[in-house]
Copies of this chain bind each other. A is one copy, B any other.
Amino acid sequence: MDIKILDVAAKAGVSSATVSRVLNNNENVSARTKFKVMQVIREMGYQPNTAAKNLRSQKTSTIGVIVPEINNSYFAEIVKGVENKAYASKFKVIICDTENSLEKEQEFVKLLLNKSLDGLVLVTPLMTNEEICHLADLHYAIGVVGRCVEHEQIPCVVTDNVSFSKEVVSHLVERGHRHIAFLSGYADAVDSYERLEGYLKGLREHHLPFRPELIENGNFNERGGYEAMMRLVKRQAGFTAIYTANDEMALGVYWACSELGIRIPEQLAVVGVDNQRIGRYITPGLSTVSQPKTRMGRAIVEKLLARLEHQELVGERIVMIQSELIIRGSSNHYIC
């Protein structure tokens, strides 16, 4: 059997309470005793039993993180930030890759209820805001990334969709474009909606008319982008630039253009969002918006751990992370 605290206590000639105090850096231990105990701990290779500690202290030093798919660089980067920050605070991280299954997500949430987890990070969750708020009402510590949930005690890390989308429009206008199409993702995604909003605000700022026939939906994936672009072209609406709500759809646009013989950027400027690695390798390089994903992960953990420590949220509830427009060949061309 393993060594337990009483074994250490016996060998060090003190009580288990004193050993516990040493382990938990309690003030009330003389330097001499502390030294002695530490020495015995090292000698015996003692490791405090986590389950016993958790049971007694009603804490686990563990948080969960739920992502739709871990094998997607966007989420993997966020998870990295979560793990790194948690590790720095001696917290463990249990992951859940839901594969877009609401059921699996809800199943995982039970780890909060059965006290396997001190807190939970939801990255673009499938659950409704009501469900999330309900958990927070029950005083569970929740943090959300990529969506804004209206609840006093829920910190949210979001991106500045509206602001960078306006920036994209400004950039295109500056290059001489006046007819800019927009490809959204699924209609009900917040990111989609907010990027559309930013696009519209950008147009207004530059006194450009909003033309509904220049809006299409591409479901956030490559094929969807391809098909949306085909529909747009067939409509003969006339546009010289396209802003796609993510890089994936931009790839679909590239694909469509190569089939249709449309030259990028001379005949069509393209700007995406996500700064996927591929964008740097395709020709021409894809202009895009870069979001500091790892930092987003770190930020939400910071908020969550503070909430855990002080029993309530501290500081700003909503953390908006600034993104950066990266201009590459696909939109870096002046038209007259």
Which residues of A does B touch, CB under 8 Å? 2, 47-52, 54-55, 58, 60, 62, 69-73, 76-77, 79-80, 83-84, 87, 92-97, 99, 104, 110-111, 113-116, 251, 277-278, 281-283, 294
Contacts and interface: CB of A to CB of B under 8 A. Distances in A.
Contacts of A281: 251, 278, 281-282
A9 to B, nearest CB: 18
A60 B51 contact: yes
Contacts of A72: 76
A50 B51 CA distance: 8
Contact of A93 (B60, B73, B95): B95
A42 B293 CA distance: 40
Contacts of A77: 71
Given A70-B79, A84-B97, A110 B47 contact: yes
A47 to B, nearest CB: 4
A87 B96 contact: yes
User: How many copies of the shown chain assemble into the complex?
Assistant: 2
30 contacts: A49-B55, A49-B115, A50-B54, A50-B60, A50-B114, A50-B116, A51-B54, A51-B55, A51-B58, A51-B60, A55-B55, A69-B80, A70-B76, A70-B79, A70-B80, A70-B83, A71-B77, A72-B76, A79-B95, A79-B97, A80-B97, A83-B95, A84-B97, A84-B99, A87-B96, A93-B95, A94-B95, A95-B95, A281-B281, A282-B282
A174 to B, nearest CB: 28
Given A71-B73, A73-B73, A84-B99, 4 more contacts: A51-B54, A62-B94, A71-B294, A95-B95
Contacts of A76: 70-73, 76
A99 B73 CA distance: 16
A104 B90 CA distance: 11
Nearest to A113: B47
Q: Which of A58, A76, A79, A277 has the most CB of B within 10 A?
A: A76
Nearest to A279: B281
A48 B111 CA distance: 10
Contacts of A97: 79-80, 83-84
Nearest to A81: B71
B92 A111 contact: yes
Q: Which 10 A-B pairs have the closest CB atoms?
A: A51-B54, A51-B55, A47-B114, A50-B116, A47-B113, A76-B76, A71-B80, A71-B76, A71-B77, A83-B97
A55 B50 CA distance: 8
Contacts of A116: 50, 92
B48 A114 contact: yes
Contacts of A93: 94-95
Contacts of A50: 54, 60, 111, 114-116
Contacts of A79: 70-71, 95, 97
A283 B281 CA distance: 9
